[in-house]
């Protein structure tokens, strides 16, 4: 479903992503781990067609994002890192706009919006202005946007960032549930999340994959059976990089 082949990205002389390759199949939830600045967001921005890659390609359901971006984008639901939203709209107005831009019209559109609101527990704020939402609701509104067109591929950049423990739990459950029928790529630097929601995980460091496997395999590789130790062993700290 998601096939990433030798994807690279330069920013000036800086190499943010270095020939990254991986695949995510339907029914898989791939955790994308790595320290800050490892290149997770940059990779996701390339896979979703926001940034053009410096080299390499990504295929979504067999469609190349560089050659046929329009088609490929229709298959993807994307939650960007900072959960950007149009502050001058209401939650429901925003979701209707996103549904319309995805080509949904009439009753189909309203149904999709209602379903997304229900899935992301937004009923209580549906008519509230986005400007006045708390961080958790902002995040979930943006997540709802990514689910509207029932995409085959979901790409979520730190979906649980800044949420309280209850909200984190709910989102993980949601990712797990959605992962049964979709291909999901989600990034995080919270290691418990990997065991809680992923079927497989890769650890990236300075634009390269340094570890890959199911959560159980990764733990088996770890020096003393903890993911944290493995993470610390295979990645470099910000200051050293």
Ligand X SMILES: Nc1ncnc2c1ncn2[C@@H]1O[C@H](COP(=O)(O)OP(=O)(O)O)[C@@H](O)[C@H]1O
Give the nearer residue to ligand X in terms of CB position, either 108 or 238: 238
Of 64, 66, 74, 119, the residue at the interface with another protein (CB under 8 A) is 74
Binding to another protein, residues 128-167 (CB under 8 A): 145
Q: How many CB atoms within 10 Å of residue 75?
A: 18
By C-alpha distance, which of 47, 19, 49, 16 is closest to 34? 16
Give the nearer residue to Mg ion in terms of CB position, either 138 or 149: 138
Q: Could you tell me which stretch among 43-51, 159-167, 174-182, 191-199 binds another protein (CB under 8 A)?
A: 43-51
Eight-class DSSP state of 178 = H
Min dist. Cβ of residue 44 to ligand X (A): 8
Give the nearer residue to ligand X in terms of CB position, either 16 or 98: 16
Q: Which does 37 bind (CB under 5 to 8 A by kind): ligand X, another protein, Mg ion, none?
A: ligand X
Angle value at C-alpha 108, between 148 and 1, nearest 5 degrees: 40
Which whole-number Å values give the CA distances from 208 to 18, 96, 239, in the listed order?
6, 38, 18
Ordered DSSP codes for 84-138 = ---TTSBHHHHHHHHHHHTT--HHHHHHHHHHHHHHTT-GGGTTSBGGG--HHHH
Min dist. Cβ of residue 73 to another protein (A): 4
Residues 197-222 as b/e (b if ≥16 CB within 10 A, e otherwise) read bbbbbbbbbbbebbbeeebeebbebb
Of 61, 89, 126, 190, the residue at the interface with another protein (CB under 8 A) is 89
Give the nearer residue to Mg ion in terms of CB position, either 95 or 154: 154
Site for Mg ion, rule CB under 5 A: 40-41, 81
Site for another protein, rule CB under 8 A: 45, 48-52, 70-71, 73-74, 76, 78, 80, 82, 84-89, 93, 97-98, 100-103, 145
């Amino acid at each position: 479903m998601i096939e990433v082949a030798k994807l690279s990205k330069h920013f000036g002389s800086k190499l943010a992503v270095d020939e990254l390759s991986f695949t995510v199949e339907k029914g898989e939830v791939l955790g994308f781990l790595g320290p800050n600045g490892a290149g997770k967001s940059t990779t996701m921005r390339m896979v979703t067609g926001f940034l053009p890659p410096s080299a390499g390609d990504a295929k979504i359901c067999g469609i190349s994002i560089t050659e046929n971006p329009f088609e490929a984008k229709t298959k993807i639901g994307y939650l960007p890192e900072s959960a950007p939203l149009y502050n001058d709209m209401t939650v429901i107005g925003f979701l209707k706009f996103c549904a319309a831009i995805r080509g949904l019209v009439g009753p189909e559109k309203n149904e999709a919006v209602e379903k997304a609101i229900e899935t992301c527990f937004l009923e209580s704020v549906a008519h509230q202005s986005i400007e006045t939402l708390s961080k958790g609701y902002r995040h979930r509104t943006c997540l709802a946007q990514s689910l509207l067109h029932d995409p085959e591929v979901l790409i979520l950049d730190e979906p649980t960032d800044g949420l309280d423990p209850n909200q984190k739990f709910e989102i993980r459950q949601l990712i797990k549930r959605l992962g049964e029928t979709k291909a999901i790529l989600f990034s995080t630097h919270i290691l418990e999340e990997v065991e809680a929601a992923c079927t497989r995980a890769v650890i990236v460091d300075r634009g390269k994959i340094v570890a890959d496997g199911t959560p159980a395999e990764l733990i088996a590789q770890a020096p003393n059976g903890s993911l944290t130790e493995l993470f610390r062993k295979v990645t470099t700290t910000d200051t050293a990089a």
